[in-house]
Amino acid sequence: MPIGVSYFGNRILRHVAADMDDLAARGFTGVLHTMSENDLTYYRDTIGRLVEISHAAGLFVQVGPWGLGRTFGGEAESLFVANHPHVGQMLDSGRPVAAGCLNSEAYREFVRSWAAAAVETGADRIFWDEPHWAHPAHFDEPRERWGCRCPRCVERWCSESGDTDMPSELTADVRVFRERCLVEFLGDLTAYVAALGGRSTVCLLPHTSGSHGVADWSAVARLPGVATLATDPYWKAFDEPVVPFVTEFSERVAQQSAAAGIEPQIWIQGFRLAPDDEADIHAAVAAARSAGVDDLWTWGYEACGHMSYLGTKDPERVWEILCDALTSTPATPCPSEPPTSEPAFVIRSSGGSGTPEREPGLGGLFPSDPAFVIRSSGGSGTPEGGTDLGGLVTEQVRPELHDLDLRPTQELVRLMASEEAAVAAAVRRAAPAIAAAIDAVVARLTERPEGRIVYVGAGTAGRMGVLDAAECGPTFNAADKVIALLAGGPGAVTKPKEGAEDDAATGAAELAGLKVGPADAVVGISASGRTPYVLGALDAARQAGALTVGLSCHPGSLVSAAADHAVEVVVGPEVIAGSTRLKAGAAQKLVLNTISTVVMVRLGRTLGNLMVDVSAGSEKLVDRARRIVATAAGRPPAEAAAALEAADGEVKTAIVSLLAGIDPDAARLRLAQANGIVRQALAGS
C-alpha cells in the first residue's frame, strides 16, 4: 500500500537522514522532494544527496518543480522569468507577468534543463506539480484575469484559427486552445524525461473547467513517459465538502489511469488543518481508497508545521492523525446497494447546476463552461482484456470536437494538418523503444543473414505493413527480406475483410506457412494493441524462436506484452473517434519506414544516404543508379555508366570497382567478404 509525503525546505543532510528514517518507521513508502529555481542554482548536488538518503531509508522518491516559472505548484518565485521577461506571459489586460509562457521555446528549454537536473538526482519519478497558466492571485490581479495573450500566443492562435487576432475574452474556443497548449507543453516535458531514462507523474489541479481546468484528463494520461496520473482535491483549500469532492476526482483519476494503463495517485490535504478536522482526514482517505486509488500521499511532512503560510493548528497532533489515517489498513468496503451501471461514455454539460469549481484559497468561482464535455465512465479494469473497447485510447471521443460537423471546411483542413503534425512528435517520443527494436533486428539479421522481417497486421495497420514491405524491394533490393501478412489475404488491401482480424488461429497458421524461425524478426502491428490475428501470429513467432516486436498506439497493450520489444506510439484519439486510418495509421507507417530504413542502413544497403542496393527495374531507377555511382565514386556520368554496365547493373559492384581500381569480379569478392557493406569492402584501398 504506497503512502508518501512531501518534504521541503530542509537542506541539512543529517536532519534529512533522521526524518527519512522517521518516515520509514511510521510506515511511509515514498517521499517527494521539491527543487526550486533556487535549489537548481545553489543546491543541485544537495538535492541529489537528499534522494540518495531517501533511497537508503527504503523510500520511493519523487522530485517536483517547486514554483518553477510560476507555472507549477509552490510559493517560490521565478528568478528566470524575472531575468528573462521576454519569456513571460501577458494577462488579457495587457500586463506582463513573471510567469513563463508555455508557448515560449526559451522557457521550455529552461524547464527541460530543470528536468535534466531532476533526472540526474536519481529520483524514481519527476513530479509535474499542478501545471497551469498564470494565476492572477499570484500577481494581485482579480480572479477574472487570465493569461496568456502574449505575441507568441496570439501568433499561434491566428496561425491555427485563421483569425486576425486572439479574443480578449476567455471564450470556450480560447479555453480549448489554452488546454491544447498546456497538454502539448506537458507532452514535451514528459517525453524529454523519458528520453533521459526517467518517468513522470503529472498532478493536475482538481478542475475540469474555468481558467485553470483541464477538461480532457485522458489527453494527459496518454502522454508518453507518464507513469502516474495524480490530483490533489484539497477540500478545505477549495472550500468543498470532503467526501463528494475527493470521491469525484479520485474516480476521475482512477478511470483515466486505468484506460491509459498507468497508475493513479491522490494527494490528501495536510496543511491549514486542525485537530478537529480528524473526521474529514479519515473520510478523505476512505473516499480515495473506495474509488480504487491505493497510492495516497499528503502535503506535507509534519503537517507543514514549519511553514507559517501553510500553517496548521497543533501540527504535531494533525501529523499523528494523518499518519494514522494513511497507514491504517483499510477495511474492505461493503456497499449497501449494488453499483449502478453506466454507459462507456456519458455526455454532460459542464455548466448548469453542477458544483462550481473554486480557486484554492480564494473562495471565488470560476465562470462555468457551457461547452459539452464527454467523459469516460469505464471501470477500473484494463480494457484490452474484455470486449468493451471504450477505454482504448484509439477509441476515445474527443470532447472539444463535438461540433466538428458544423465547422467550416478551411478550419477542418487546418485541424487535420495540425493532427498529422502530432504524429511525428509521438514517434520522436518513442525513439528509444524504436531504436532498441531496430538494434535487436539488426543483430538477428547480421547473425543469420538468411533472416527476414515479417510484418503482420489487419485493416489499416496491416495495409501499412504491406505498403512498406512492397517499397523495400525497389529501394533496397530487399523484396525477399521484408514481407507482410495481412488478415484476409492480399485481396484485403483493396477490399477490406474486417472480420478477419478476429481470427487468432489464422494469424498463427499463416505465419507458420512462411516457415518463420529463429533467423526472422516478426513485427506485429495493431493500433489498439489487441488484434487477435496479430496476437496469434506473435505467439506462433515466439514459439518458433523468432524475434518479436509489437507496434501499437495504446499504452500497456496485449501486443506489447506479447512481444520481445514493445513500441507504443500514443497519438491519442482521432478526429473521427475510432478511425485509426488517420493519426494511428500515419504513425504506424512512419515507424515502419523507420524500422525498415534504419535496418537496411545498418545492414550496409546504403552508402551514406545513397541507396546503393537499388534495384534498377525501371527507366527512372536505371537513371538513379547511374547518378548514385557517379556521386559515390566522384566520377563523370559517362564513366559511371560504363562501370555500371560492366558490373551488370550492380551499383555496389560498380562503386567498389571504380574506387578500388579493380575489375567487377574482384569487387564482388570484396563485397562478399565484407557482408555487402561498401565501406568495409573499400577499407585499405
Collect all residues with Cβ–Cβ distance below 8 Å to 584 and sequence separation of at least 6.
394, 460, 461, 527, 553, 571, 574
Q: Is the pLDDT of residue 370 over 80?
A: no
Half-sphere exposure of 638 (CA within 13 A, CB side): 0
The 10s digit of each residue's pLDDT in 517-552 is 999 999 999 998 989 999 999 999 999 999 999 999
SS3 readout for 621-660: HHHHHHHHHHHHHCCCHHHHHHHHHHCCCCHHHHHHHHHH
Listed residues 602, 634, 660: the one ending a domain: 602
Diameter of the chain measured on Cα atoms: 94
Say how many domains are in the chain.
Answer: 3
Angle between helices 105-120 and 172-195 (to 10 degrees): 40
Which three cell numbers, joined as nine digits, stand for 101?
Answer: 509562457
Q: What are phi and psi of 89, to 5 degrees?
A: -85, 165
Judgement on whether residues 587 and 666 belong to the same structural domain of the protein: no
Q: Is the pLDDT of residue 347 over 70?
A: no
Listed residues 550, 575, 602: the one ending a domain: 602
Judgement on whether residues 385 and 425 belong to the same structural domain of the protein: no
CA 135 from centre of chain: 26
pLDDT at 429: 75
Q: In which domain, by residue range, is 240 found?
A: 3-86+99-133+172-332+344-404
pLDDT at 351: 33
CATH number, residue 662: 1.10.8.1080
Least Cα distance to 17 among 45, 42, 52, 44 occurs for 52
> Does residue 398 contact residue 575 with C-beta atoms inside 8 Å?
yes
Least Cα distance to 248 among 273, 231, 272, 229 occurs for 231
Judgement on whether residues 266 and 179 belong to the same structural domain of the protein: yes
Mean of pLDDT over the chain:
86
- More confident call, 685 vs 380: 685
Q: How far apart are CA 19 and CA 613, in angstroms?
A: 64
- More confident call, 677 vs 571: 677
Q: How far apart are CA 34 and CA 5, in angstroms?
A: 11
Judgement on whether residues 227 and 177 belong to the same structural domain of the protein: yes
Name the CA dihedral angle for 454, 460, 463, 464, rounded to a multiple of 10 degrees: -70
Residue 243 domain-assigned?
yes
pLDDT at 372: 27
SS3 assignment, position 33: strand
pLDDT at 592: 96
Average pLDDT on 444-458 reads 95
Judgement on whether residues 215 and 324 belong to the same structural domain of the protein: yes
Judgement on whether residues 423 and 458 belong to the same structural domain of the protein: yes
- More confident call, 642 vs 479: 642
From residue 504, alpha-carbon distances to 388, 458, 495, 537, 540 in Å are 19, 11, 20, 7, 10
Judgement on whether residues 213 and 258 belong to the same structural domain of the protein: yes
Residue 414 domain-assigned?
no
CB atoms within 10 A of CB 311: 14
Residue 148 domain-assigned?
no
Least Cα distance to 264 among 235, 296, 299 occurs for 296
302 is catalytic: no
Average pLDDT on 473-478 reads 86
- More confident call, 422 vs 518: 518
Half-sphere exposure of 425 (CA within 13 A, CB side): 18
Residue 314 domain-assigned?
yes
CATH number, residue 450: 3.40.50.10490
- Tell me the pLDDT band of 376, cut-offs 50, 70 and 90: very low
Listed residues 576, 602, 628: the one ending a domain: 602
Residue 38 domain-assigned?
yes
CATH number, residue 201: 3.20.20.80
> Does residue 6 contact residue 300 with C-beta atoms inside 8 Å?
yes
Judgement on whether residues 562 and 630 belong to the same structural domain of the protein: no
Judgement on whether residues 61 and 179 belong to the same structural domain of the protein: yes
Least Cα distance to 226 among 183, 266, 255 occurs for 183
Catalytic residue among 160, 320, 420, 471: 471
Q: Is the pLDDT of residue 387 over 70?
A: no
Judgement on whether residues 348 and 436 belong to the same structural domain of the protein: no
For the sheet containing 453-457, what is the strand order? 482-486, 453-457, 521-526, 547-552, 565-568
Catalytic residue among 141, 400, 501, 650: 501
Least Cα distance to 132 among 241, 231, 47 occurs for 231
- Tell me the pLDDT band of 393, cut-offs 50, 70 and 90: low
Q: How far apart are CA 521 and CA 501, in angstroms?
A: 21
Q: Is the pLDDT of residue 418 over 90?
A: no
Beta strands 96-100 and 88-90 are: antiparallel
Average pLDDT on 17-37 reads 96
CB atoms within 10 A of CB 507: 29
> Does residue 147 contact residue 90 with C-beta atoms inside 8 Å?
yes
Residue with cell 502530432: 422
pLDDT at 196: 94
Q: Is the pLDDT of residue 386 over 50?
A: no
Q: Is the pLDDT of residue 380 over 70?
A: no
- Tell me the pLDDT band of 684, cut-offs 50, 70 and 90: low
- More confident call, 591 vs 417: 591
pLDDT at 343: 30
DSSP 498-556: GGGGG-HHHHHHHHHHTT--TT-EEEEEESSS--HHHHHHHHHHHHTT-EEEEEESSTT
pLDDT at 590: 94
Residue 337 domain-assigned?
no
501 is catalytic: yes
- Tell me the pLDDT band of 498, cut-offs 50, 70 and 90: confident
- Tell me the pLDDT band of 329, cut-offs 50, 70 and 90: low
Judgement on whether residues 370 and 427 belong to the same structural domain of the protein: no
Q: Is the pLDDT of residue 468 over 90?
A: yes
Q: Is the pLDDT of residue 497 over 60?
A: yes
Q: Is the pLDDT of residue 396 over 90?
A: no
The 10s digit of each residue's pLDDT in 60-79 is 999 999 999 999 999 899 99
Q: Is the pLDDT of residue 12 over 50?
A: yes
Instruction: Answer positive or negative: Cα dihedral of 153, 158, 160, 166.
Output: positive
The 10s digit of each residue's pLDDT in 243-280 is 999 999 999 999 899 989 999 999 999 999 999 999 99
* pTM over cut 0.75: no
> Does residue 88 contact residue 97 with C-beta atoms inside 8 Å?
yes
DSSP E strand stretches across 553-640 = 565-568
> Does residue 493 contact residue 486 with C-beta atoms inside 8 Å?
yes
Residue 161 domain-assigned?
no
Judgement on whether residues 489 and 535 belong to the same structural domain of the protein: yes
The 10s digit of each residue's pLDDT in 215-246 is 999 999 999 899 999 999 999 999 999 999 99
Residue 155 domain-assigned?
no
Q: How far apart are CA 96 and CA 69, in angstroms?
A: 14
> Does residue 458 contact residue 526 with C-beta atoms inside 8 Å?
yes
Least Cα distance to 485 among 407, 424, 419, 546 occurs for 546
Average pLDDT on 591-602 reads 94
pLDDT at 200: 97
The 10s digit of each residue's pLDDT in 154-199 is 999 999 999 999 999 999 899 999 999 999 999 999 999 999 999 9
